[in-house]
Amino acid sequence: MREVSHFIGGKQVAGTSGRFGDIYNPNTGEVQARVALATTDEVAAAVENAKAALPGWANTNPQRRARVMYEFKRLLEANMDELAELLSSEHGKVIADSKGDVQRGIDVVEFACGIPHLQKGEYTEGAGPGIDVYSMRQPLGVVAGITPFNFPAMIPCWMFAVAIACGNTFILKPSEKDPSVPLRLVELFREAGAPEGVLNMVNGDKESVDAILTHPDIKAVSFVGSSDIAQYVYSTGTAHGKRVQAMGGAKNHGIILPDCNMEQAVKDIVGAAYGSAGERCMALPVAVTVGQKTGDEFVERMLDAARGLKVGVSTDTEAHYGPVVSAAHKAKVEDYIQMGVDEGADLKLDGRGHTLQGHENGYFVGPSLFDHVKPGMRSYEEEIFGPVLQVVRAESLEEAARLPSNHQYGNGVAIFTQNGRAAREFAAQVNVGMVGINVPIPVPVSYHTFGGWKRSAFGDTNQHGPEGVRFWTKIKTVTSRWPEGDIGDQAFIIPTMQ
Ligand code: NAD
């Protein structure tokens, strides 16, 4: 059986722990490969390689580092089809979504090509007599990234492309559910000209995560995954003296105002709620309609749209979405649907028990739609991460806007309206990190920054964009004095504003 190994010191290295995780094909439910799960010692070996590579890489001039990024971008583009097929076969998302996943990664690599410009620092000439002050952004050292299953191309690139362009060396610990694309990324990065040890990958579960969080030579950790683990990673990593950013789960709301373009809103939300089987942290699983008429019309149209979705295998080019990632996840999504029924929400469309002829053991869940969902219901308060849309009815914009603001998660939110003033006010006031105005999935472009609020992110620096550069660098400020002539016993004067 195919085995996914680690990548340490510029080459694939077979695991030695004797422990393996199964990699499934979600279309069929079959085990298609296995992945080695690292021990603490294997993580330590990766750190040693990254440490050895650090001085050379940190002292490589920024433009040369950027050239590796340019070549990596070219290789990703050249290998797009292969990467997308591999990604779909382990994750289950349809090929078009897998290509989007890779493309979003490429976007961040493209951003990383320009990082020399953001690492320049600042300069003040003549802050005092003969005194100049300048700052520089230096790499942190050996750093690490721990990533989830749902964007196995994009999220590793969020982290390692930015960190490495800044001069750090890196340990990637991808999800054990779909590690083959991350491994290909790491191989392609080496092929692009990265010296050995600059980017290493260890596969694993909690043992490898704990080894990363407690290793004294790892200076920073970026994490993306579910909120409880994110909080654990944040508290453990910071307790061990590391800089940590840890992105967590989400429950994004879309507010539907009576004056919106309803046809467009339904079209947008059907993609945002059900696309990629709802397994996106920027999916839109809650629609809040304002006013009875808006609610009735939205539910009627959405039912039609959801019924029209084709659920298929990930290679089916006509399918809107494929299976969810695992049998356990399918069971979890179906349990939440039952919970919604038990809590008294009105199940208009039930996706449970969805089977596909010839793929009876695949992890398919049909589109589900709940109406009259209420705050306080557990199925509303928690993240389902499946193809389930919950409609909450509100009487006013104020009531609707309070829902995402009061929710435990604060990743993304969207408002659908033609009233610019209402949208502007909403965007300014809502207690959520990323806002869409007539945009259902407001994922910021790579040169802006990605990150939620509340239990959607622990730590205070976001992914990519200038914030990403700040996370992966530390600032040093130099005050220098080169006075004219002999300074004799003149004392050093701290420059002041006078
Ligand atoms: P997960 O939390 O199960 O796993 C994420 C990572 O943590 C994996 O690498 C995994 O190996 C590791 N891990 C799992 N259990 C652990 C434990 N007990 N101790 C230490 N490490 C552990 O998440 P997932 O199921 O892979 O991904 C889906 C989740 O990620 C969803 O909650 C989704 O909302 C979230 N997500 C958030 C964002 C964001 O930017 N906020 C983006 C994508 C996904």
Give pLDDT, residue 491: 64
Burial degree of 48 (CB within 10 A; 0-12, 13-18, 19+): middle
Of ligand 1's atoms, which has the minimum distance to the CA of residue 210? 20
Cα 410 to ligand 1 centroid, rounded to whole Å: 16
Q: What is the mean pLDDT of residues 227-240?
A: 98
Ligand 1 within 6 A of CB of 432 = no
Q: What is the mean pLDDT of residues 387-395?
A: 98
Phi, psi of 321 (to 5 degrees): -155, 165
Cα 481 to ligand 1 centroid, rounded to whole Å: 50
Proportion of the chain above pLDDT 90, given as a percent = 96
Other Cβ atoms closer than 10 A to 191: 12
CA distance 311 to 354: 9
The 8-class DSSP code of residue 463 comes to B
Is residue 426 scored above 90 in pLDDT? yes
Q: What is the mean pLDDT of residues 334-341?
A: 98
Who's near 497: CB < 8 A, 6+ residues apart?
A: none
Give the pLDDT confidence of 194-231 residue by residue, as tens digits. 999 999 999 999 999 999 999 999 999 999 999 999 99
Mutate to test the pocket of ligand 1, among 281, 382, 434 (most ligand atoms within 8 A of CB): 281
Cα 226 to ligand 1 centroid, rounded to whole Å: 4
Of ligand 1's atoms, which has the minimum distance to the CA of residue 463? 40
Q: How far apart are the first and last CA of the chain?
A: 73
Give pLDDT, residue 485: 74
User: How many Cα atoms are found within 13 Å in the side-chain-facing hemisphere of 320?
Assistant: 20
The Cα angle at residue 437 between residues 434 and 439, in degrees rounded to 5: 85
Burial degree of 195 (CB within 10 A; 0-12, 13-18, 19+): middle
Nearest residue to 164 via CA among 60, 234, 11: 60
Mutate to test the pocket of ligand 1, among 4, 147, 224 (most ligand atoms within 8 A of CB): 224
Cα 229 to ligand 1 centroid, rounded to whole Å: 7
Ligand 1 within 6 A of CB of 175 = yes
Is residue 489 scored above 70 in pLDDT? no
Confidence class for position 492, pLDDT limits 50, 70, 90: low
Q: Is the pTM of this model over 0.95?
A: yes
Q: Whose CA is nearest to atom 1 of ligand 1?
A: 225
Ligand 1 within 6 A of CB of 247 = yes
Domain parsing of the chain, residue ranges:
2-248+456-477, 253-437
Is residue 498 scored above 60 in pLDDT? no
Mean pLDDT of the chain: 96
Is residue 429 scored above 90 in pLDDT? yes
Q: Cα dist. 412→27, 245, 286, 359 in Å? A: 29, 17, 11, 34
Mutate to test the pocket of ligand 1, among 35, 149, 454 (most ligand atoms within 8 A of CB): 149
Q: What is the mean pLDDT of residues 273-289?
A: 98
Locate all alpha helices (DSSP H) within 343-439, ordered by sequence. Answer: 378-381, 397-406, 420-429
Q: Whose CA is nearest to atom 38 of ligand 1?
A: 281
Ligand 1 within 6 A of CB of 383 = yes
Give the pLDDT confidence of 69-88 residue by residue, as tens digits. 999 999 999 999 999 999 99
281 catalytic per annotation: yes
Give pLDDT, residue 300: 98
Give the pLDDT confidence of 17-63 residue by residue, as tens digits. 999 999 999 999 999 999 999 999 999 999 999 999 999 999 999 99
DSSP readout, 208-263? HHHHHHH-TTEEEEEEES-HHHHHHHHHHHHHTT-EEEEE-----EEEE-TTS-HH
CATH numeric code, 2-248+456-477:
3.40.605.10
Of ligand 1's atoms, which has the minimum distance to the CA of residue 250? 34
Q: In terms of CATH architecture, what is 253-437?
A: 3-Layer(aba) Sandwich (3.40)
